[in-house]
Chains A and B, each alone.
Chain A
Amino acid sequence: MIFEYAPAPESRSVVDLKPSYGLFVDGEFVDPTDGGSFKSINPASEEVLAEVAEAGAGDVDRAVRAARRAYEQVWGPMPGRDRAKYLFRIARIIQERSRELAVLESLDNGKPIRESRDVDLPLVAAHFFYYAGWADKLPHAGFGPDPQPIGVAAQVIPWNFPLLMLAWKIAPALAAGNTVVLKPAETTPLTALLFAEICQQADLPAGVVNIVTGAGDTGRALVEHADVDKVAFTGSTEVGRAIARSIAGTRKKLTLELGGKAANIVFDDAPVDQAVEGIVNGIFFNQGHVCCAGSRLLIQENVAEQVLESLKRRMAQLRVGDPLDKNTDIGAINSAAQLARIRELSDAGSAEGAERWSPACELPERGFWFAPTIFTGVTQAHRIAREEIFGPVLSVLTFRTPAEAVEKANNTPYGLSAGIWTDKGSRILWMADRLRAGVVWANTFNKFDPTSPFGGYKESGYGREGGRHGLEGYLNV
């Protein structure tokens, strides 16, 4: 028997949005001096949420100078145990205000509340908690007896996990003794600004964390600022390449976490129902706006039909719609521009001869939406098998032997993640050894943890975030 779902909306009242937000520089919210402003909208309704300052080059300079001052006078000389206490405070305030942050994240980003509430926010708090504990133990981290911070870190983050990416950047930087200037993505600046309030609430010394909102020009001014010692970027491979070029010949250290085109490989002995859950989680989690999404499904040929049948049945159960509804599985696409890109690549999939399928699925009239979609009959030459779509679109290929699966999985310039589904332990380890990817999920997918290093091979970037390894990018080693 099939029951109708009644809507179960999460209340917005927990969020107190201001009509406009300034830049967070030297502990204060300030108006831009040479920038402008832009609007952040709710992608599920296209309603304007707030007006946000756009930092110009002068504003970026002001933020970098504040960070430098804080580094030299306060944060750098501060004993690790005191830095730790500030980070623990921040972790606790995030836990205390987690519902507010989760609702705001879903409003600004379009992701389902179930995900921001149950995945993003717990991971954000855990990340600060984890790195807080490192701040006074750095001599034991394996980077020499007295590892030193680098200085001022310029950090540019994407819109897919706004607060989680902020945590991945700020927590290890501060634990290691650096100060930061962070630029959130232009479509999702609001939770970073709420985080700035949390820094104030924690009495974090002024200038240790600075947040400059804006788009590409603001990011460029920040990354290319001469007084920045370290650049950390998460985003597209194209922008990552430009940043790598721009820091050539400088002293700046760089870590990059870029695109992916992960293979999710299903063998004929895998439990089908579990594998299907993993496939769905791999590509439809967060609307597929995930750099490590399992966007290429490789199924062993003899079970392809059976797996696809189950997958389609499961996809028909996915609920697309209001991100604040607690029943929602797939929320809104983050922006009109991203929706256009997903449409363009999906159209290319059809035009190049792959077969497109989506479950019957009613989409809201306003806002940016894309039904969960799979393509079968995909070849390795198709654009949808080579280019990162960053949306709820899965390309399905088949293979016969493990060696062929490895060959196809590695046939990409990316190398961020991979998935293996099989009941045979020795085959998991054999495959894991051969897959050129920074994270390999075996009989699971899209799992994250602050203790677990994350990052790519090849053109998916370099450096690791998370775990002991995540400290390395913020220490002078």
Chain B
Amino acid sequence: MSERVAVRKTYKLFIGGKFPRSESGRSYLVQDANVSLASRKDARDAVVAARAAVKGWAGATAYNRGQILYRVAEILEGRREQFVALGVPADEVDAAIDRWVWYAGWADKLTQVYGGANPVAGPYFNLSSPEPTGVVGVVAPEQPALLGLVSVIAPAIVTGNTVVVAASPAAPLAAVTLAEVLATSDLPGGVVNILTGRLTETAPTLASHMDVNAIDLTGVTDAELAADLEIKAAENLKRVLRPAPADHDWTTDPGITRMTTLLETKTVWHPKGV
């Protein structure tokens, strides 16, 4: 009997909950696979999908978002071996799963930690609460391919933002496989969109897009590109997370700054009286 011929997987983009090829019809060979080479148009399409998802996701209850993020961790746990097979070290997969769980728990806590009542000098109710900023463009770290990716996606979406992520160009397979996890975790389509390909094509489109509210440059290693993206982001005053230092240790406690930078504080006043 001849040996069974394996069914290979096609690695595609993740936009609006679907897995399209690049509209440009291009791909590039990386990690022994033909991976979609996203175009500027794909990036714009992903922003449209992310914007469409904002209302439902930001409007979902914090409890519901927490449940869904926890579900992502559950599904990820079940796919451990797939990531290991892609070359992700087992302890990195474990750390990535634990990070999802950590962030999932933040969904219904950050408002209390970061917002609060303000004791104004007058007869007014006055309350500050954080809200998601909207659509966030993210340049994921090149390494670690899975833990780095999870560490930038989870803090952005747990509070109700939606994201368009430019995956690590050199190690995109973990990102596409993570997309399959997300697609089967009750996460509404469009909340996370993942582009594979060249940063020089996708990142400037996200940084200059007028319907993107914030840009996370964590994974940009070229200082000149980072400065250029920050200049583009100034056009509509995007909130900016600057590149992470090259020696950043992704296994340490992430703190809450990643989440809070992508939040807006809204303060509501109302008079008290009878």
Contacts and interface: CB of A to CB of B under 8 A. Distances in A.
A318 B257 CA distance: 47
A477 interface: yes
A241 B121 contact: no
A469 B265 contact: yes
B234 A248 contact: yes
A334 B104 CA distance: 51
B244 interface: no
A458 interface: yes
Contact of A443 (B133, B228, B230, B271): B271
A469 B265 CA distance: 9
Contact of A244 (B119, B133, B234): B234
A444 B120 contact: no
B267 A249 contact: no
A432 B268 contact: yes
B271 A248 contact: no
B118 A449 contact: yes
A142 B113 contact: yes
Interface string A433-464: 00001111111100101011111011101101
Contact of A432 (B121, B133, B266): B266
Q: A248, A441, A444, A447: which has the most chain B beta carbons within 10 Å?
A: A248
Contacts of A449: 118, 120-122, 126
Interface of B is mostly: mixed
A83 interface: no
B60 interface: no
Interface stretch (B27-35, B66-74, B146-154, B235-243): B235-243
Contacts of A248: 227-228, 230-231, 234
Nearest to B133: A457
Interface string B105-143: 000000001101011111010101000010000000000
A126 interface: yes
Contacts of A464: 265
Nearest to A459: B237
A467 B128 contact: yes
A240 interface: yes
B270 interface: yes
A462 B239 contact: yes
Contact of B267 (A244, A258, A440, A458): A440
A444 B271 contact: yes
A40 to B, nearest CB: 31
Contacts of A462: 237, 239
A118 to B, nearest CB: 13
Contacts of A241: 234-235, 237
Contacts of B218: none
B269 interface: yes
A440 B268 contact: yes
A311 interface: no
A169 interface: no
Nearest to B55: A434
Interface string A26-58: 000000000000000000000000000000000
B239 A444 contact: no
A175 to B, nearest CB: 17
Interface in A231-252: 237, 240-241, 244-245, 248-249
A402 to B, nearest CB: 15
B1 interface: no
A477 B257 contact: yes
Nearest to A468: B116
Contacts of B236: 413, 458-459
Contacts of B228: 248
A449 B266 CA distance: 15
Contact of A249 (B122, B226, B265): B226
B22 interface: no
Interface bracket on A: 35 or more
B93 to A, nearest CB: 29
A200 to B, nearest CB: 29
A132 interface: no
Interface string A250-261: 000000101000
A339 interface: no
A103 B231 CA distance: 42
Given A451-B119, A458-B213, A240 B237 contact: yes
Interface in B185-240: 213, 223-224, 226-228, 230-231, 233-237, 239
A440 B121 contact: no
A414 to B, nearest CB: 10
Nearest to A439: B267
Contacts of B223: 249
A428 interface: yes
A470 to B, nearest CB: 10
A318 to B, nearest CB: 23
A444 B268 CA distance: 10
A403 to B, nearest CB: 12
Contacts of A126: 121
Contacts of A455: 265
B190 to A, nearest CB: 19
A453 B265 contact: yes
Contacts of A458: 213, 236-237
A449 B118 CA distance: 9
A455 B271 CA distance: 20
B81 interface: no
A452 B265 CA distance: 11
B116 A237 contact: no
A447 B122 contact: yes
Contacts of A142: 113-114
A447 B269 contact: yes
Interface in A390-432: 413, 415, 428, 432
Contacts of A428: 270
Contacts of B120: 447, 449, 451-452
B94 interface: no
A441 B268 CA distance: 6
9 contacts: A241-B235, A244-B233, A248-B227, A249-B227, A444-B271, A452-B126, A455-B265, A457-B133, A469-B265
Given A437-B266, A444-B271, A469-B128, 18 more contacts: A126-B121, A245-B230, A248-B230, A248-B231, A249-B223, A249-B224, A249-B230, A413-B236, A438-B264, A439-B269, A447-B122, A447-B269, A452-B269, A453-B267, A458-B236, A467-B118, A469-B265, A472-B260
Interface of B: 113-114, 116, 118-122, 124, 126, 128, 133, 213, 223-224, 226-228, 230-231, 233-237, 239, 255, 257, 260, 264-271
Interface of A: 126, 142, 144, 237, 240-241, 244-245, 248-249, 256, 258, 413, 415, 428, 432, 437-444, 447, 449, 451-455, 457-459, 461-462, 464, 467-469, 472, 477
